[in-house]
């Protein structure tokens, strides 16, 4: 199911300086510890099938040279990676799914708020584009395993205003590494839970587009 987002570019200058010249993996996380069952959630998560996740898209610490301060989230849309910048030219790297061309945020934003097992409501544009699929949820869908926002959501703001873009989980793990959503940044539920615990509200976000 597509996600609720605006189908236009929110334009601030594209920031290319954040690109890393080297992202050699320095610490891979085992599939069992990173993607096994999570029983202590409001909606317990089953473990992920390793065959659904390409090795390069799995959570891992990498070498990452950046001009951004530690704690910054850098979304490398063309390469389908999200980096959480760390000290010592390192970053935690996550595989992501991204929005289709023309449905993408770019430039600077920040995490305006965070939510666990968020509810989801299609926008008016989504209802017009696909009333058959989205119409039943015009009044909202509560959080849960079938919700397209997944286990967590980071709501991206700019100048005090909600951009309507999110970094969030997904109930479609096979979509990671692809461009198929309505503009947002989707992560494996296990990975968005990990990122959610690492970043506070107010965290700076830089989104790089091709």
Question: Catalytic positions, please?
Answer: 168, 184
Rounded Cα distance between 59 and 122, Å, is 29
**CA–CA distance, 203 with 112 (Å, rounded to integer):** 8
Inter-residue contact 29 to 191 (CB < 8 Å): no
């Amino acid at each position: 199911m597509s996600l609720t987002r605006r189908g236009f570019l929110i334009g601030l200058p594209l920031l290319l300086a954040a690109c890393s010249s080297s992202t050699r993996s320095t610490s891979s996380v085992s599939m069992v510890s990173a993607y096994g069952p999570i029983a202590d959630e409001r909606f317990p998560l089953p473990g992920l099938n390793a065959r659904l996740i390409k090795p390069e898209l799995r959570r891992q610490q990498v070498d990452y040279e950046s001009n951004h301060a530690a704690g910054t989230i850098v979304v490398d849309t063309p390469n389908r990676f999200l980096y959480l910048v760390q000290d010592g030219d390192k970053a935690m790297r996550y595989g992501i799914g991204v929005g289709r061309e023309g449905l993408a945020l770019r430039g600077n934003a920040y995490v305006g708020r965070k939510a666990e097992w968020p509810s989801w409501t299609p926008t008016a544009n989504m209802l017009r584009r696909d009333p058959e699929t989205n119409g039943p949820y015009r009044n909202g869908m509560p959080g849960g395993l079938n919700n397209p926002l997944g286990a967590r959501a980071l709501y991206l703001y700019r100048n005090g205003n909600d951009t309507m873009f999110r970094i969030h989980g997904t109930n479609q793990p096979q979509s990671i590494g692809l461009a198929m959503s309505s503009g947002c940044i989707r992560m494996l539920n296990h990975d968005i839970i990990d990122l959610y615990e690492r970043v506070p509200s107010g965290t700076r976000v830089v989104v790089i587009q091709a």
